[in-house]
Chain A
Amino acid sequence: MPPIRVRGMAEPVVKVRDLMKYFPLRRGLKEIITMKPRRFVRAVDGVSFDMYIGEVFCLVGESGCGKTTTGRLITRLLEPTGGHIYYKPTREVASQIPEKCFVEDGYVDLAQRLPKHADKLLRREIQIVFQDPFGSLDPRMKVYDILKEPLIVHKIGGSEEERREIIYRALSEVKLVPPEQFMNRYPHMLSGGQRQRVAFARAMILKPTVVVADEPVSMLDVSIRAEILQLMLDLQASRDLAYLFITHDLAVASYLCTRIAVMYLGRIVEMGPTDEVINNPQHPYTKALIAAVPEPDPRNRFKIREVPIKGEVPSAAAIPPGCRFHPRCPYAMDRCSKEEPPTLEVKPGHYVSCWLHTRK
Chain B
Amino acid sequence: MPLLEVRNLKTYYYTLRGVVRAVDDVSFALERGEVLGIAGESGCGKSTLAWTLLGLVPPPGRIAGGRIVLDGIDITKLSENDLRKKVRWKKVSMIFQGAMNALTPVFTIEDQLAEPLIIHKGMRKDEAREKIVQMLKAVGLDETIMKRYPHELSGGQKQRVIIAMALLLNPDLVIADEPTTALDVIVQAQIMNLFKEIKKKYNIGMIFITHDLSLIAEIADKVAIMYAGKIVEIGSSDQVFGNPRHPYTQGLLRSIPRIRSKEKITWIPGVPPDLVRPPPGCRFFPRCKYVKEQCRKEEPKLKEVEPGHFVACHLYG
- Which residue numbers of A lie inside 8 Å of B, CB to CB? 62-63, 191, 193, 221-227, 229-230, 248-252, 254-256, 278-279, 288-298, 300-301, 304-305, 307, 309, 311-313
A254 touches B267 (CB 8 A): no
B5 touches A (CB below 8 Å): no
Residues of A within 8 A of B268 (CB): 223-224
Cα distance, A250 to B261, chains bound together (Å): 12
Selected from A63, A222, A297, the residue in CB contact (under 8 A) with B184 is: A63
Query: Known contacts A225-B255, A294-B214, A296-B258: does B185 contact A62 (CB below 8 Å)?
Result: yes
A191 touches B271 (CB 8 A): yes
Q: How many A-B Cβ pairs are below 8 Å?
A: 132
B184 touches A255 (CB 8 A): no
Cα distance, A313 to B185, chains bound together (Å): 12
Question: Interface stretch among B14-22, B169-177, B218-226?
Answer: B218-226
* A-B interface, 6 closest residue pairs, ranked by CB to CB distance from nearest: A292-B189, A255-B257, A298-B237, A62-B184, A294-B214, A226-B267
Cα distance, A293 to B192, chains bound together (Å): 11
Query: Known contacts A289-B185, A293-B185, A296-B253: does B196 contact A301 (CB below 8 Å)?
Result: yes
Q: Chain A binding site: helix, strand, loop or mixed by DSSP?
A: helix
Query: Known contacts A297-B241, A298-B238: does B259 contact A222 (CB below 8 Å)?
Result: no
A226 touches B192 (CB 8 A): no
Other than the given A296-B253, A301-B237, 17 more pairs (CB < 8 A) read A222-B212, A222-B213, A223-B255, A224-B255, A224-B267, A251-B257, A251-B259, A289-B185, A294-B192, A295-B214, A296-B214, A297-B241, A298-B242, A305-B189, A312-B155, A312-B157, A312-B187
B98 touches A (CB below 8 Å): no
- Which residue numbers of B lie inside 8 Å of A, CB to CB? 35, 41-42, 154-157, 184-190, 192-193, 196-197, 211-221, 237-238, 241-242, 251-253, 255-260, 262, 265-269, 271
Cα distance, A290 to B253, chains bound together (Å): 20
B193 touches A304 (CB 8 A): yes
A296 touches B213 (CB 8 A): yes
Residues of B within 8 A of A224 (CB): 255, 267-268, 271
How far in angstroms is the closest Cβ of chain B from A64? Answer: 9
Cα distance, A262 to B237, chains bound together (Å): 33
Residues of A within 8 A of B213 (CB): 222, 296
How far in angstroms is the closest Cβ of chain A from B28? Answer: 18
B265 touches A229 (CB 8 A): yes
A301 touches B267 (CB 8 A): no
With a 10 A CB-CB cut-off, give which of B157, B212, B213, B260 has the most chain A CB atoms. B260
Query: Known contacts A229-B265, A304-B196, A307-B193: does B255 contact A222 (CB below 8 Å)?
Result: yes
How far in angstroms is the closest Cβ of chain B from A220? Answer: 9
Query: Known contacts A252-B257, A298-B237, A298-B241: does B186 contact A309 (CB below 8 Å)?
Result: yes
Selected from A279, A291, A292, A300, the residue in CB contact (under 8 A) with B217 is: A300
Selected from B215, B242, B260, the residue in CB contact (under 8 A) with A279 is: B260
Query: Known contacts A222-B211, A301-B218, A307-B193: does B255 contact A295 (CB below 8 Å)?
Result: no
